[in-house]
Amino acid sequence: MSKIKQLNDKNFNEEVKQGKVLVDFWAPWCGPCKMMAPVLEEVSQEVEQVTIAKVNVDENPTVAARFGVMSIPTLALLADGEEIDRIVGFVDKATLKAKL
């Protein structure tokens, strides 16, 4: 069962305001985003201290614009609602876990 949360323009602020959250800004037509999905699934099962969440940029343009997302996938690491790190493009599982 997936531990990844689906976020949108309405629930985003409430869901990321506490703790560490890795937000995957993605779209269904994006090839590298499709490659990133299984990596995020695995990491969500292995890393307890960070919540993994996804935002579809086509359906939720307000949040994507707020974070200045220009390329996808963009992975934004937030701590208590503030961005502390960002990865743009596909990364492997080991690299992602090291960042977290």
Query: pLDDT tens-digit profile of 35-78?
Result: 999 999 999 999 989 999 999 999 999 999 999 999 999 999 99
Domain 5-99 class in CATH: alpha beta
Q: Quote the percentage of the chain above a pLDDT of 70.
A: 99
Residues 71-90, mean pLDDT to the nearest whole number: 97
Q: Taking 90 as the threshold, does the pLDDT of residue 1 lie above it?
A: no
Catalytic residue chosen out of the listed positions 4, 27, 30, 100: 30
pTM tops 0.85: yes
Of the candidates 33, 53, 75, 78, the residue annotated as catalytic is 33
Domain range list for the chain: 5-99
pLDDT band at 2 (very low <50, low <70, confident <90, very high): confident
Annotated active-site residue 33? The verdict is yes
DSSP code string of the chain: ---PEEE-TTTHHHHHSSSEEEEEEE-TT-HHHHHHHHHHHHHHHH-SSEEEEEEETTT-HHHHHHTT--SSSEEEEEETTEEEEEEES---HHHHHHH-
Active site residue 71: no
